[in-house]
Amino acid sequence: MDSTTRLAAVLEGLGTALPPRVVTNAELAERLDTSDEWIRTRTGITERRMAGPGVATSDLAVEAGERALKSAGVSEVDLVVVATTTPDHPCPATAPDVASRLGLGPIPAYDMAAVCSGFVYALSGAAGAIASGQAERVLVIGAETFTSIIDPEDRSGAVIFGDGAGAVVLRAGRADEPGALLGFDLGSDGALADLIKIPGGGSRQRAGGLAPDPADSWFTMQGRQVFTNAVKRMADSAGTLLQRIGWPVQSVDRFVGHQANVRILHAVAEQLGVEPERAVINLDKVGNTSAASIPLALGDAAASGDITAGDRVLMSAFGGGVTWGSAALVWPELIVA
Ligand code: UT7
């Protein structure tokens, strides 16, 4: 490769991790004022996973990271990025611990906080590190234990969110190789920050001496407004990216949107002009796993043959901040671990 060629980030490994405990809609309906029918028809979710007490986000991240490294057949990377809204601790970041436990040595490691858009944001950061020559190989992990920040009595949050992790290995390569990330479209609108929020525990409503109202330490979401913003932003962002990389919308084989709600995914597909059957859906089994949702959906689809080598894959996410982002690649030959 000559030194003037811009390096592309090429997908070469993919791994996922889910805690074994399954929480069904029926189980939630036993203790909350909800029903299997409401949850299925309003969200498309039938069950989600829950990490047991004592299991932290880093534990799931390490498991998914190990599998992604195995899938890529490598044991060394130059950078680890962990996208998460549920870090093990407010301080320090989770990524250094994950890198250390994976035996990756004294490499740079940082967390990416963009809530449900975190994985796409982290992919973009990793691709930038590769393009600038700062890293040849990067491990990007989306990992969450959202059940640790959802008030168990909050029926609207408890039915949606679940725990899990997904990870990819990216290596430096050429833009015309299968697996090369072909472009990104990212955005944010902080004027809508209140739509998705944990009010307490940060510098605005401080923990410690001035303890916030305990109710303010739970995750909050204004569902209906998030829904409409998510549809618009994901569709616009994905459409902008398609134009930028010159893919006609009809050429998209698989649309892998953030798995928040099946109605959102179908509405985005419709606005974009992608047939709904092309939308990859795995939220029925895992719920909304925030930053882990896209890599988990990719992992499921690739393992089941729903995504195969040569497919044009379009990803798009929307989350707190608010933030959104899209990315695209032609799927490479890959064995999911
Ligand atoms: O991951 C980051 C991005 N997140 C998202 O994209 C999530 C976006 N939002 C959504 O997916 C949906 O807004 C929800 C699934 C959260 C809620 O669905 P919705 O169709 O927007 O319901 P709603 O909040 O408008 O509530 C409709 C009704 C209300 O009752 P009334 O006021 O009509 O009597 C709620 O109280 O449904 C009620 N409700 C429930 N009923 C049974 C809300 N949650 C539940 C529940 N079970 N779990």
Q: How remote is the CA of residue 26 from the centroid of ligand 1, in Å? A: 17
Domains 7-174 and 181-330 share a fold: yes
Is 288 annotated in the active site? yes
The span from the CA of 151 to the CA of 77, in Å, is 37
**CB of residue 195 inside a 6 A radius of ligand 1:** no
Q: What is the position in ligand 1's atom list of the atom closest to the CA of 28?
A: 48
Q: Verify whether residue 116 is a known catalytic residue.
A: yes
Q: Is the preceding omega at residue 108 within 30 degrees of 0, hence cis?
A: no
Query: Candidates 25, 42, 224, 324: which one to mutate for ligand 1, based on the most atoms within 8 Å of Cβ?
Result: 42
321: left (phi over 0), alpha (psi -120 to 50) or beta: left
pLDDT tens digits in sequence order for the chain, 337 residues long? 444 567 999 999 999 999 999 999 999 999 999 999 999 999 999 999 999 899 999 999 999 999 999 999 999 999 999 999 999 999 999 999 999 999 999 999 999 999 999 999 999 999 999 999 999 999 999 999 999 999 999 999 999 999 999 999 999 999 999 999 999 999 999 999 999 999 998 888 876 655 567 788 899 999 999 999 999 999 999 999 999 999 999 999 999 999 999 999 999 999 999 999 999 999 999 999 999 999 999 999 999 999 999 999 999 999 999 999 999 999 999 998 8
Which CATH number describes the domain made up of 7-174? Answer: 3.40.47.10
Q: For ligand 1, is residue 226 a contact (CB within 6 Å)?
A: yes
Give pLDDT, residue 1. 47
Q: Tell me how far CA of residue 65 lies from CA of 14, 196, 329, in angstroms.
A: 8, 28, 21
d(CA 238, CA 234) in angstroms, rounded, equals: 6
Between CA 145 and CA 290 the distance in angstroms is 9
DSSP bridge pairs for 124: none
The hierarchical CATH code for the domain 181-330 is 3.40.47.10
Ligand 1: does its nearest atom lie under 6 Å from the Cβ of 230? yes
* Closest C-alpha residue for ligand 1 atom 43: 156
Q: Round to the nearest angstrom and report the end-to-end CA distance of the chain.
A: 30
Domain spans, the chain: 7-174, 181-330
**Cα angle at 74 between 137 and 335, to 5 degrees?**
100
Find out whether 206 and 334 touch, Cβ atoms under 8 Å. no
